[in-house]
Structure 1
Amino acid sequence: MSGVPGAFALCGAILWRVRREGVRDLLSAVVPFVVLLVVLSVLPLVAGHGIKGAAVAAAVGARYGADANMVVVGLLLLITPGLAALFGAIGVTRSVQGLVGSEVSRGGMEELLSAPYTPGGIAAAVLGYALVVATGFWAVMTAAGALAITVVLLLSGARLTLDAGYLTLALLLPLLCAWASAGLTLMVSLLFPRLTQLGAGVNVAGGSLGNGLALLPALGTLLALLYGTVSLGPVKLFLMAGGVTVVITVAAVAIVAGKFRPETVLDS
């Protein structure tokens, strides 16, 4: 089995096994994100304009028509996409590195390489798995963020008028960031598999030394949203930050396609 059909079949098998053996560990990134959203929703209501950055948050809230609780609404609009990018990157990084590490330690990678799968097919299957997981984290966290904002609006009676520029920034930039983290994680995991040896189980909550590199796009996205949303505007910020994440993703995948060798995994 080789080529695109084989890669799709292998990707489906990986997703099925992780769903059966390690899906609970995926909550290791989702639960802290939800808890932090709750804190961000409640703290400004208690502290009001006494919190650091309240003026910027209020400016964002006022820009999009919040006529009540501008600080908490603006803070959620400002930071929720960045947190979705950060925690989504944490989730996909741990998931992919945990998967590859467990396969290396249990001999699964060697079995795949001895089976009728090409190295390119294996890399494509892991990439497909990474993109599916990244998109899943993005969807869950974006929905949670939207729910938090909606609840605050309902409780405070505030109204928002969000333009297409902000919606594009808030929805697509975290997704592009998650894909960039997936690409970097794939590169580290397949080119430097010793960094991912975590145990024999499907430890999708595990971590490794490669986490720092894979989280850089998310950290950059969070900082860009905090400091660039007001000064640059949503459209310009999205074009700049989104362009960087696309370049990172394409470069990481291209490096894997050109540099991945079976011996790298077998010798680890």
Structure 2
Amino acid sequence: MDVRIDILTLFPEMFDVFDYSIIGRAREKKILDVNTVDIREYTEDKHRKVDDYPYGGGAGMVMAAQPIVDCIRDIKKLNNGKVIFLGPRGKTFNQDMAKELSKEKELIFLCGHYEGIDERARKYIDMEISLGDFVVTGGESACIPIIDAICRMIPGVLKSDESYMEESFYNGLIEYPQYTRPECFEGYDVPEVLLSGHHENIRKWRRIQSLIITRKNRPDLFRKAELTEEDKKLLKKYRNR
């Protein structure tokens, strides 16, 4: 097995999504080993409780330290990867982070729930990641897209490196427009350059379209993009039309 990922969660069934599509095929090929671990199996409470009321009062419940810590310790016997917690204190996830994590051979993801986790469990966490500045029901909802983004860049998961290298955000820009048959749909034609068979002209067309779309829709990304001399010439040529 090339890469092992363990997901520590209260709701293992939520990760059935990884039985399908690209990730599912990669698991069948033994490129990925994605496992879910039920934190409830580690609680010492006879009623299988994993949460309790917060000291000091307040709304909601907090996940207790004991089942989390015991679960991490047990999984560490099989997986020595970083323990990544999905929570609001972490850096916001992006494509660069996905690239770096895709180089790891072992990873452990901890999904929080309720009002968070007991602070004393944090010393067993190596890294915290946030999906963004909004609230979701639990760490599972954030964990799924993060693992998906990471796994797509693991060698062998996609059919070719180009499949992810040309996707939106991989190189800091949004992907160019795509077309398929028929050539004309409801009066709208496929751009002639894509029918020309001229690979260099197609490459340039795709690049300028990617630049234009990013500048229009995500100016924040465009400002951070490292433009080549060719990019600058293409943009100048486009402005002069």
Taking structure 1 as the reference length, the TM-score comes to 0.21
**Which structure has the larger Rg over C-alpha atoms?**
2
Greater share of helix: 1
Give the structure-2-normalised TM-score: 0.23
Name the structure, 1 or 2, with higher relative contact order (CA <8 Å, separation 6+). 1
